[in-house]
Structure 1
Amino acid sequence: MDNFNKDRYLGTWYEIARLDHSFEEGLSQVTAEYTENDDGSIKVINRGYNEESGEWEEAEGRAVFVDNSGAGHLKVSFFGPFYASYVVFGLDDHYSRAYITGYNRDYLWLMARTPEVSDSVLEDFKETARAKGFDLDELIIVDQSRQ
């Protein structure tokens, strides 16, 4: 996307829906906190509750823009020199919800500034994702009920 505003994007986001993957499997109450580092990169803290172990899990990473800060395309590393693509492909004018994917259509997230969204927001997300070729058969609606 164009006209991405890093400063407006910073802060806490709640994971509303996702295509599941091994590094978030079984997690509920998932949040992402974005803050700016002194070098201009973005500190990322992902946190979620693992019901099976009864413990919170947290991962800290670093994100940098691929081209320029006006595009919503970053690369994020949680494991040393290995980076993964982080693409914001939908964002409302108020920066209250974001559609995010990775380098392919195996990764998909709906993030919001609040732990819950309306049914119409969720349906708009699903409609947009399907139109962009995402298979939503495995879409998980994240339990945020304990926030």
Structure 2
Amino acid sequence: MRLGALLAALLLAGCASQGEAPVPPRTVAAVDLQRYQGTWYELARLPMFFQRGCAQSEAHYSLEGDGSLGVLNRCRDLDGDWKQARGRAVPQVEGRTDKLWVSFDNWFSRLLPGLTKGDYWVLYLDDDYRTALVGNPDRKYLWLLSRTPVVSEATRERLLEVAEEQGYDTDLLIWRTPDTAIP
């Protein structure tokens, strides 16, 4: 009996020491995908494997007839060469547009289709659909987006403030390389 009580206490202590799961970031109430479509320039991002070597990135979204978003992501490296990936974004929950699943058409997604979709949570969107913050629930990914490649200092500070309020480490952000630095 004592051994059972000891094991139970150790199990509970182990669970308690891991702490509670962090609260996921808040998303916007809704995204009008008609207004969201078009070109978004990446101002900054958290480091990630699939964007290594990207000096400038942009995303082009197009609303499809089935309600999904067609996705064309482009990445320009420091040599001026462009790489691109096509994909599709669909709501994670029917009728909600603040949290999307994004998947890309590549060999890996064709090999393991269920494992290659990524969270795309819209965390902030200004009223004019000119700037946005997009991340994921575990705060490993974050993009600061704008309809223009350059924004005012006030806009930049506002995006950083919202990202920090949401629990993202903005000290790790990789900022867009200026056009003058790329041939």
1:123 maps to 2:157: yes
Taking only aligned residues, the RMSD between alpha carbons, in angstroms, comes to 1.8
Structure 1 residue 38 corresponds to structure 2 residue 82: no
Q: Which residue of 2 aligns with 1:133?
A: 167
Native 8 Å contact 1:18 1:109 kept in 2: yes
Q: Which runs of 5+ in 1 are unaligned?
A: none
1:76 and 1:85 in contact (8 A); partners too = yes
Note closer, same or farther for the CA distance 1:68–1:2 as it changes in structure 2 (3 Å cut): farther
How many residues are treated as equivalent by the alignment? Answer: 146
For residue 8 of structure 1, give the secondary structure of its aligned residue in structure 2.
helix
The answer on whether the counterparts of 1:3 and 1:70 sit within 8 Å (CA) in structure 2 is yes
Please give the per-residue CA displacement for 1:41-71, whole angstroms capped at 9, x wherever unaligned.
111000011225x521101111101124543
Q: TM-score if structure 2 supplies the norm length?
A: 0.74
Partner of 2:99: 73
- Native 8 Å contact 1:31 1:48 kept in 2: yes
1:75–1:85: 8 Å Cα contact kept in structure 2?
A: yes
Specify every segment of 5 or more residues in structure 2 that has no aligned partner in the other structure, as ranges.
1-27
Percent identity over the alignment?
Answer: 40
How do residues 57-136 of structure 1 correspond to structure 2 at under 5 angstroms? 57-78=83-104, 79-80=109-110, 81=113, 82-136=116-170
Q: Which has the higher contact order (CA 8 A, sep 6+)?
A: 1
Q: Which amino acid aligns with 1:106?
A: K
More strand by share: 1
1:11 matched to 2:38? The reply is yes
Report the CA distance between 1:27 and its aligned residue: 0.7
The structure with more helix, counted as a fraction of residues: 2
1:131 counterpart letter in structure 2:
E
Between the aligned partners of 1:56 and 1:3, the Cα distance in structure 2 is 32
Per the normalisation by structure 1, the TM-score is 0.91
32 and 69 in structure 1: CA distance in 2 versus 1, 3 angstrom threshold: farther
Counterpart position of 2:76: 49
1-structure distance, mates of 2:66, 2:53: 34
Q: Match for 1:58: what amino acid?
A: Q
SS in 2 for 1:111: strand
Counterpart of 1:137, as a letter, is D
Report the 3-state secondary structure (helix = DSSP H, G, I; strand = E; otherwise coil) of the residue aligned with 2:160: helix
Question: 2:125–2:132: 8 Å Cα contact kept in structure 1?
Answer: yes
Aligned structure 1 segments of 4 or more residues deviating by more than 6 angstroms: none
